[in-house]
Homo-oligomer: A and B are copies of this chain.
Amino acid sequence: MSFFASRWVERPAHVREVAGLPAGFRAAGVAAGVKPSGAPDVALLVSDAPGTTSAARFTRSGVLAAPVLLCQERCRLDALRAVVANSGNANAATGRRGLDDAAKVQGAGAAAAGVAPEQVAVASTGVIGVPLPAQAVVGGLAAARRLLGETGDASMSEAIRTTDAFAKHASLEVELPGGTVRLAAQAKGAGMISPAFATLLCFIETDAAMSAETADLLLGATCARSFERASVDGQLSTNDTVLLLASGLSGVQVAPETQDELRLGEALDALLRQLALMVLADGEGARRVGRVVVHGGHPLHVEAAARAVADSPLVKTALHGGDPNWGRIAQALGMALPGTAPLPFDVAIEGVKLCSGGGAVPYDQSDLAGKVSRDEVEYVVGLPGEGAETEVFFSDLGHDYITINAEYTS
C-alpha cells in the first residue's frame, strides 16, 4: 500500500517512496526502561555532516515541557546536529528538576553524537507531571549510539510511540531540477492533538543543501497546511516539537525562490499532510477521519466555523457512529458565530446537500448512510459571502478514546 493513502493528499509526480534515511543521517531506537512495559522508548538521530542546517516549530502552550524550554533557550535551532527523543514521560510540569534532567539528557546526547550540546535537540512525550528517569534515558543513549544506522528510522519511529497504534514514517526520493534528493520523516501522535500541532513529535531529514532560513520557511509553510490543520481532541500539548534537519550531502542546493525550492516544498507538503492524516487515523481509538471545508466571505468566520466543527465532540461521535447528523454541524456553526442568527448556511456531506440557506432539504438517507461509513468523510459548509476558504482534518470520537484516556493513569 502506498504511503500516500488518503484521497486528500496527492503524491507529487516527482516523488517516489524509498527506504532508509537521507545521506548523512543515522538513527536508532532502543528500550531503555522509561516505559514500564519494556517497549522501545529512547531514540537518537545524528547528522554526520558538520554543515547541517535546521529549523524548528514548537507548541504555543503556556505550560511548556522542560525539553521544549531547553530547546528554545539552549539550542542552536538553525544548526542542529542531533536529536534525542524519549517516550513514556513528557518531562512536563516537572519544575527545576525537569530542566536539569533535560540538560543531562542533552549532554549525554552530545557525547553520543560527538557534537556540542547546543546542537542537540531534546524531545519527550508521555505522562505529564512525573519526574523523568534521566539516568535511564542516558543509559539508552549509550546503547542507541552503538546501533546507529542508515535504516534506523524504523526503530526510531517505534521508540517515540506512546498511545500510537502504529509507527508513522516515510522516506522519499524527490527529483528536483538541480538533482535528486532524499526526504524522510518520523512522527508520533495520537491524542492531545490540536489546535497547533499536538503531542506530536515529528523529525524530518533531508540531504538537500539549504540555508537555515530556507529550512525555516519550508517547515513553517508546510506545518501550517498539515499538523496545524489537524484535531484529534482539540487539546494543545505541552510538548509538540517538529524539527527539520538538512545535511546537504546530496550536493543539490535548494536556493530561495527557485523551482528546486518549490518542488521540495511540494514533496514536504505531501509528506507532512499524509503524516498528519495518519496521526488522525491513529487518533486514540479513531475509526474514521473527517475533513471539513468551510467557505464564505470572512476569513475569521470561516476559520472559527471549521475549528468548531472539527473540535465538536458531537460531530466526532456522529462521525464515529457513521451517522450523517448534520444538525450537529448547525449547532457547531452557531456556537462559533454567536449573534449572527438567522444564519443562512449550507451543509453538504460527501457531496450530498443536506441544508440550504439554514433549512433542511430532502436527501436520500440510505445513499448517504453508505457514504459516511467509509474511512474518510468530507463535510462542506457554506457561509454567506465568498473569497475565504479553509479546511480542518479531524478524527472521530469513540469508545477507545475513553478507555485509553480514562485508564492512562498518572
Contact = CB atoms under 8 A, between A and B. Distances in A.
Contact of A343 (B63, B128, B325): B63
Interface string A71-99: 00000000000000000001011111110
Contacts of A238: 330-331, 334
- For A235, A360, A398, A406, the residue with the greatest tally of chain B CB atoms inside 10 Å of its CB is A406
B360 A317 contact: no
Contacts of A323: 406-410
A366 B160 CA distance: 30
A341 interface: yes
Interface in A323-378: 323-328, 330-343, 345, 354-355, 357-360
A207 to B, nearest CB: 34
A163 B136 CA distance: 50
Contacts of A61: 331, 334-335, 338, 341
Interface string A369-410: 000000000000000000000000000011101110111111
Given A313-B313, A314-B191, A342-B64, A130 B360 contact: yes
A339 B62 contact: yes
Interface in A274-315: 312-314
B408 A325 contact: yes
B410 A313 contact: no
A127 interface: yes
The interface size bin for chain A is: 35 or more
Contacts of A355: 93, 129
A408 B69 CA distance: 44
A257 to B, nearest CB: 32
A321 interface: yes
A319 to B, nearest CB: 9
B409 A69 contact: no
Contacts of A111: none
Contact of A313 (B97, B131, B233, B339): B233
A342 B127 contact: no
B314 A192 contact: yes
Contacts of A128: 325, 327-328, 330-331
Nearest to A340: B62
A339 B127 CA distance: 22
Interface in A104-135: 127-131
A211 interface: no
A145 interface: no
B313 A235 contact: yes
B192 A62 contact: no
A279 B338 CA distance: 23
A235 B312 contact: yes
A87 B91 CA distance: 49
A93 B360 contact: yes
A238 B328 CA distance: 10
A318 B62 contact: no
Contacts of A332: 235
17 contacts: A61-B341, A62-B335, A62-B336, A62-B341, A63-B331, A63-B333, A69-B341, A69-B342, A93-B330, A93-B355, A93-B360, A95-B359, A96-B359, A127-B327, A129-B327, A323-B409, A402-B402
Given A93-B358, A128-B328, A235-B335, 19 more contacts: A62-B334, A63-B330, A63-B337, A92-B330, A94-B359, A97-B359, A128-B325, A129-B355, A130-B327, A233-B313, A235-B332, A236-B331, A236-B335, A238-B334, A313-B405, A323-B406, A323-B410, A325-B410, A399-B403
